Amino acid sequence: MRRLLRSLLLATLTLLPGVLVAEEALVAGKPLYRDPVYDGAADPVVIWNAERKAWWMFYTNRRANAEGLPGVSWVHGTPIGIAESTNGGATWAYFGDAQFSGIDSVLGAGDGSIDKPTYWAPEVIEAEGAYHMFLTVVPGVFKDWGHPRSIVHLTSDDLLHWRAESELKLVSDKVIDACVAPLPDGGYRLWYNNERDRKSIYYADSDDLLTWSDRGQAVGDQSGEAPKVFRWGDRYWMVTDVWDGLGVYRSDDMESWERQKENLLREPGSGADDRVKGGHPDVVVSGDRAYLFYFTHPGRRGPDAGADQTEQRRSSIQVAELRLENGWLACDRDAPTRIDLRVE
């Protein structure tokens, strides 16, 4: 009788939106995802696709296995890949590439002078009756890092086909890695990496996602990129890639940020493709749980860590569940991650 009552209770709980029963959820794969085309999946962002009733993951698809690409040109000319999960985020399958139109025009190159643009680090949200993407665009394929980059705003009705709306006018000509979240009293805030200021995190505000007012530096105590801001529990959190794991900040008002002493994912894990530091995060809050998506360079370890071959270039997506410890964020990347993302 006790076992029957427990089973009925679990079955009831799994029907409630926002409730995750760990014993009923699937364990996420490790690695969670590898791209079958270039084997260079990085910079993940996860969103619910209501039309397909599935979770979609957008990612920068670095050309890790392409031959004859000198310097860092393999990190340029990159498409934005899409993977799909129909089981709450536990497993993912390659879907295709995001389709873009009008980017040349909003960058002032409607004559086709941008031979092959580079796409990095998409941020994707649903708001104002449409899907919105804030995409880092580099105007070409280059062998080094010394070229302009900007953030372009695009919209979509189906998450697959995207129309460029505008280039955001931000504080410098080298800005990357947008993150957008709604403000508690209305409007939106965008955080991004200003590479001209020691790779500090800057921010801008908008009432409508179309016109942005730059607000200056948000976090500058350490260099970092790929800010991810989210609300979980009774606080706002910012997680950034500081190339030594992930830096963590907390805030009560999205204005003043307090830094956590310990970085997440600084210590390598023991699972497949997870034995290195983690980078470039996304966080999905599902009910009272939060899941940290990140990518790794599995081959950058051991005596050949500094080599520049496919094994050192390739990257994998991973996921771990966040938890709160003494008011700060923690995660155990080696623990089985039972995941069943729910639509809020």
Pairing of strands 161-167, 99-101: parallel
- Residue at 6 is within a domain: no
Which pLDDT value is given to residue 185? 94
Radius of gyration for the alpha carbons in the chain, expressed in angstroms and rounded: 20
Give pTM, 2 decimals: 0.93
Which pLDDT value is given to residue 4? 42
SS3 115: coil
Q: What is the pLDDT along the chain (344 residues), one digit of tens a residue?
A: 444 444 443 443 433 333 444 568 999 999 999 999 999 999 999 999 999 999 999 999 999 999 999 999 999 999 999 999 999 999 999 999 999 999 999 998 766 667 789 999 999 999 989 999 999 999 999 999 999 999 999 999 999 999 999 999 999 999 999 999 999 999 999 999 999 999 999 999 999 999 999 999 999 999 999 999 999 999 999 999 999 999 999 999 999 999 999 999 999 999 999 999 999 999 999 999 999 999 999 999 999 999 999 999 999 999 999 999 999 999 999 999 999 999 97
Which pLDDT value is given to residue 22? 55
Range of the domain at 267: 31-339
Tokens of 128: 């104002």
Of the CA atoms within 13 Å of residue 193, those in its CB half-sphere come to 22
DSSP line for 185-251: TSSEEEEEEETTTTTEEEEEEESSSSS-EEEEEEE-SS--EEEEEEEETTEEEEEEE-SSSEEEEEE
- Residue at 5 is within a domain: no
Which pLDDT value is given to residue 24? 81
- Residue at 301 is within a domain: yes
- Residue at 115 is within a domain: yes
CATH number at 227 reads 2.115.10.20
Amino acid at 77: G
| 216 Ramachandran zone, left/alpha/beta (phi>0; psi -120 to 50) | left
The single-letter DSSP state of residue 147 is: S
- Residue at 54 is within a domain: yes
- Residue at 24 is within a domain: no
- Residue at 26 is within a domain: no
Q: How many domains does the chain have?
A: 1
- Residue at 170 is within a domain: yes
